[in-house]
Structure 1
Amino acid sequence: MTIWEPAGLSGAGPRYLTLADAIGADIAAGRLGPGDRLPTQRELARRLGVTIATVGRAYQVAARRGLVTGEVGRGTFVTPALAPAAPAAAPVVDVAAVHPPGHGPVHRAVAPILHRIAADPLAVGAEDADAVRHRIAGARWMAHAGWRPDPGTVEVTAGGQHGLAAALAALAQPRQVVVTTELTNPGLLAAARLLRVELATVPSDAAGARPDAVDRLCARRRVAALHLHPTLHNPTGVTMPAERRRELAAVAAAHDLTVIEEDPFGALLPDRPPPVAAWHRRTVHLTGITKTLAPGLRIGYRYAPPSLAEPLRAAAQALAWAPAPLVAEVATELVLGGAAHRLAATRAAELAGRAAIARQLLGDRASAPGPAPFAWVRLDHDAEAVTTAARRRGIAVAGADEFAARRGAPPGLRVSLSADEDTVRTALRALSRLIPAGR
């Protein structure tokens, strides 16, 4: 077995595709040669901090691309006849990543800001003055439904994942328990693995996480925090009504819990109910502009009460000393100038149209609520077969295993609606032929 592992897994798509791409890139660069044996799935999963299923799927994709071969009982090997410079084929249609395309109107809005900054060497760098403006922008971006956080309680992060990982690091020690839903943000799964935080799950219904289940779990286990994603939940698309948010806030207060509330897609739904932070003071509210506007604008915003500010700030600095000042300045200009909200409204309208197409082509198995940048397709025991069949046909989708915080989580797959309409329609039509008729 070779000691090979990729230098890093970066990119907007699913990690199994990123890993398959890394295998192809290292073969092309000569770092992997014909006949080299790759690490076992278990060993590589341990090194990279991903699931064995992720590595297994990466190896399957690499095999379909002709990069590797598997031998039962022996392992996975670089294809002997493969030339070192062999290119790695890309999926025909990628409907796995939910990042916005990041071009067109966003580029046109960003260009004059960058020109202004380029013309003034002192436009970025006055840290104290800039920090105040950036916090004001963050407070304005996350404000909704009458909730108006004080800019002094807001910090800028280097994206949503940075804010989430820092919150886990600050609020939960290794082996402590954080409660989340059975299907949850893959970023939470990755951060919990890295920080060795245990995730305990509660079931959801049509309104989101069930308060009674949270209450029962907290009664029998010592819980450090409750993780919620109440608006356009990833991956199911559920938006909690106000009453459910109040109920969960009451349970959190009864058990003296800190709530970690993610809201990466909230700006797409401006009339969403108030956040849990409006009812439960000990809430860390996380949002940003990356998932709404463009993947290159990797800036997040974090609200926290003063009692939690210092440990959160220390954890954030340990993970990434500070967000990039240039990107923070661009985000601030977009928000304070009003362009960010206008761009979000335009994108929400586009996504609402794609959601209608998803419901039309996939029927009642598809949950595609309004402006969510994805549709969740409910499946039965055939979930793995459908996902595998789609990938074999060149349709890259995100299977339920990428979101499952426990074994036996509800099966399904997430289909991105973020690509152009023709791509989305092509993928949905292909999937409609693979998915069993709705219940």
Structure 2
Amino acid sequence: MSKSKAIQDEGRAIAWVGQFVQHAGPRYMQIADFVEQALADGLLKPGDRLPPQRRLAQLLQVDLTTVTRAYDEAKRRNLLEGQGARGTYAAAPKVELAQLLDLSMNIPPPPAGVDFDDLLKQGLAQVLLRTDSGLLMNYHLGGGGQADRAAGAAWLAPMLGRVHEEQVLVCPGAQPVLAALILTLSRPGDIILAEPAVYPGLRAAAAQLGRRVQAVEVDAAGMLPDALEKACGKPRVALIYLNPTLQNPTTHTMPAARRREIARVAARCGVQIIEDDPYWLLADAPPPLAHYAPRQVNYISTLSKCLAPGLRTAFVLLSDPLRREDFMTALRSFVLMSTPLTTALATQWIHDGSAQRLLAGVREEARSRQRLAHQLLAGKAEAGGGGIHIWLPLPGYWTAHELAQAAQAEGLAVTSPEAFYAGPRPPNAIRISLGSIRDSGHLAAALRKLSQLLARR
């Protein structure tokens, strides 16, 4: 074969490759996107052979690892298939309806412009370099070491200002913290006041522990102070539960004036507040309730909704430091300790700035997905800017239960309001989570399918 013929063949072999774009994500993801776009445009057809990884790396002037990861990502998306020594080939299309497109799980989306795999490898390498591996595999019972609590104080500073690290407790996720606070601050048969729409994990914990959740009337700004004060006057009221920023599921954020009023009512009535605040760092929100009434509010900030659920790390501030031992005893009855390795990783990321980069990427991607959802759902959804879910009121010809069933038949999972409302008549709406489908193209396909479903009578 002549040299010019070989060059022409090689040029055709990479004609599907687009131009790398700065700040458009890691290059291995861009290469996988090139493959996906080329298959959609017909530049690559099922059965076409792609260049060997080493040769493609030379042609694109990237390192071999980048191409290897790009091919692995494309295989994960079912775009390519490896045939051993014969090479790598464009795959036949898969039937998307066989896969459930999950719009029900509230997790953060993949961070824009951040190579999460590299971040994870670097973080773990630093943890193993700086920490005795024996300590990472041992018991840790005290609510976090000094470095962990210092990381927690730094993480809470944007919400609450300067926090002394000795006040911070490092715990294994928000759900066991909720249960431990209920055990510490109430007795069986007591009442927990909440808004009509409430996090299902609270209802589950209260039911298991023999407490009752009672709804307090709300308006557009959130829980009504007068209604709260009246409810606090009833026997056996022990706690108030609030998720005031990007509330799950309604996405409402309580304004500052209402937060101050609620804090004053709780103080006047002598009732403790549990402030569950997983989304504050994704929003442009007023200061938390704990800012206005630190002696009345037990504050929870988890990394699960703004960084990654697998970190299983929450930072807690108790309203009364004297309750620390009681709280830790209650917490250990559910889960003995935070996982040392993931706690150390969270601490490392916060101290070296990786957590802030990851958070910025999640915020950017979440806002992009919010815009996509509003575009494809014709602006029907309610959403607070930057959150990872939307609340979609339904047309009168659909009930939430019927739509959820129809969506399931179409390969979509959405969340009905019954999961959040204890009352007999929840609103006719569904919650749509925007982070659980990793690929934004697949998310767009799911939202289009949902929009078409909504249009059917």
**1:337 maps to which of 344, 352, 357:** 352
Structure 1 residue 145: Cα displacement: 4.7
**1:429 maps to which of 448, 454, 457:** 448
Q: Identify if the C-alpha distance between structure 1 residues 121 and 259 changes in structure 2 by more than 3 Å, giving closer, same or farther.
A: closer
Opposite residue 107 of structure 2, the aligned amino acid is H
Look up the match of 1:97. Answer: 105
1:120 and 1:148 mapped to 2: Cα distance?
27
Gaps of 5+ in 2: 1-96
Q: TM-score, normalised by structure 2?
A: 0.71
Of 92-101 and 104-113, deviating more is: 104-113
SS at match of 2:118: helix
Structure 1 residue 325: Cα displacement: 1.1
Confirm whether residue 153 of structure 1 aligns to residue 167 of structure 2: yes
1:150 and 1:411 mapped to 2: Cα distance?
45
2:198 and 2:455 mapped to 1: Cα distance?
25
Structure 1 residue 102: Cα displacement: 6.2
Opposite residue 341 of structure 2, the aligned amino acid is L
Structure 1 residue 130: Cα displacement: 6.2
Structure 1 residue 185: Cα displacement: 0.9
2:352 and 2:131 mapped to 1: Cα distance?
21
Q: Identify if the C-alpha distance between structure 1 residues 129 and 97 changes in structure 2 by more than 3 Å, giving closer, same or farther.
A: closer
Opposite residue 279 of structure 2, the aligned amino acid is F
Structure 1 or 2, whichever has the larger Rg, is 2
SS at match of 1:366: coil
Look up the match of 2:290. Answer: 277
SS at match of 1:409: coil
Look up the match of 2:16. Answer: none
1:129 and 1:100 mapped to 2: Cα distance?
25
SS at match of 1:155: strand
Identity, in percent, stands at 34
String of CA shifts for 1:237-272, please: whole Å, max 9, x gaps: 111111111011011111101000011122222x42
RMSD: 2.3
SS at match of 1:377: strand
Gaps of 5+ in 1: 1-88
**2:407 maps to which of 371, 387, 390:** 390
2:364 and 2:131 mapped to 1: Cα distance?
38
**1:114 maps to which of 102, 121, 124:** 124
Q: Is the 8 A contact 1:106 1:293 kept in 2?
A: no
What does 1:27-46 correspond to in 2, within 5 Å? Answer: none
Look up the match of 1:362. Answer: 377
Confirm whether residue 316 of structure 1 aligns to residue 331 of structure 2: yes
Q: Is the 8 A contact 2:109 2:434 kept in 1?
A: no
Look up the match of 1:195. Answer: 209
**1:257 maps to which of 238, 255, 271:** 271
Look up the match of 2:416. Answer: 399
Q: Is the 8 A contact 1:146 1:274 kept in 2?
A: yes
Confirm whether residue 409 of structure 1 aligns to residue 426 of structure 2: yes
Confirm whether residue 298 of structure 1 aligns to residue 312 of structure 2: yes
SS at match of 1:296: helix
Look up the match of 2:57. Answer: none
String of CA shifts for 1:65-99, please: whole Å, max 9, x gaps: xxxxxxxxxxxxxxxxxxxxxxxx97531111121
Confirm whether residue 137 of structure 1 aligns to residue 141 of structure 2: no
